[in-house]
Homo-oligomer: A and B are copies of this chain.
Amino acid sequence: MKQLDLFVISDSSGETALTVAQTALSQFPSLKVNFQRFPFIQTTSILNGILKLAGQKQALIFHTLVDPALSNLVITFAREHHLAEVDCLQPAMHTIQALTGEVPESVPGLVHNLTDTYFDRIAAMEFAVAYDDGKDPAGLLKADIVILGVSRTSKTPLSLFLANRNLKVANLPLAPQTQVPKELWEVNPNRIFGLTNRPELLRKIRQERMISYGLPVESAYSDTHKIQEELDYADQIYKKIGCLVIDVSNKSIEETATIIMESLDPKLISHEFDR
């Protein structure tokens, strides 16, 4: 297995460069990558020190530096020292400037500005935590999106992912032995999404949970017949509501979240999606 040192250099937190690097590297599963992140790099002197280290390690550099002088320093150094580098920001900025004629601000970290949208996002995250797992049925009526599903259908991480996109999400577990709160029937069905999964996959996931809790692997919780009963019960509820049902088997959280965001009527949301 090939080893690779990868430096992420950014004038802000480095999340963008890290995202691009991880997406590209996922296409090369045989590489073992040692990531090192250098955030908030905004001066030539500190950048020079990092580049020297990159030279010693023959590191691949992914960078997002809004100041062209700094990104050019990386590019020139890499060329002179036979290093590989990927500029994750300047090409996009050049394209936008050429298209619109606008001049970039060149201020690091603008994407994290403390704007209204940013505070909306924090509020949405707090909402998701407050109304996780059916904690308070009042949340069903205040939410942009209501997620339903039996145990271990990824309701919590899905709610948090959508919260990160400024959506207020409440989730409610379904189980045959418990009653759904009456508030559920007052929610617009277009806001409701029902999760389902294949029984055998759910069984495996639940067995793993039992192991992680140090509990016996075989129980009613991980019994295929009981699981099928639960899923049938959930299906009945979904039909009665008339909501969209998403099979999450072999779907990542991001994929399920994207399906929900694409299906959601924008008129049902009070704020912007992405920006």
List, in ascending order, chain B residues with CB within 8 A of A23's CB.
Answer: 16, 64, 89, 92, 111
List, in ascending order, chain B residues with CB within 8 A of A109's CB.
Answer: 252, 255
Q: How far is the CA of A39 from the CA of B93 in the complex (A)?
A: 23
Asked whether any CB of chain B lies closer than 8 Å to the CB of A33, the reply is yes
Chain B min CB distance to A108 (Å):
9
Asked whether any CB of chain B lies closer than 8 Å to the CB of A141, the reply is no
Q: How far is the CA of A2 from the CA of B15 in the complex (A)?
A: 28
Q: How far is the CA of A19 from the CA of B10 in the complex (A)?
A: 14
Closest to A60 in B: B99
Cross-chain contact A129 with B132 (CB below 8 angstroms): yes
Interface residues of A in 91-141 (CB under 8 A from B): 91-93, 95-100, 102, 104-107, 109-114, 118-119, 121-123, 125-126, 129, 132
Total interface residues on A, using CB and 8 Å?
84
List, in ascending order, chain B residues with CB within 8 A of A39's CB.
Answer: 255, 258, 262
List, in ascending order, chain B residues with CB within 8 A of A20's CB.
Answer: 16, 19-20, 88-89, 92
From B35, B64, B96, B105, contact of A60 by CB (8 A): B96
Cross-chain contact A21 with B100 (CB below 8 angstroms): no
Q: How far is the CA of A35 from the CA of B275 in the complex (A)?
A: 8
Cross-chain contact B112 with A35 (CB below 8 angstroms): no
Cross-chain contact A24 with B250 (CB below 8 angstroms): no
Interface residues of A in 1-41 (CB under 8 A from B): 2, 4, 12-16, 18-31, 33, 35, 37, 39-40
Closest to A58 in B: B99
Closest 8 A/B residue pairs (Cβ): A112-B252, A24-B92, A27-B104, A26-B111, A26-B110, A13-B254, A16-B23, A84-B99
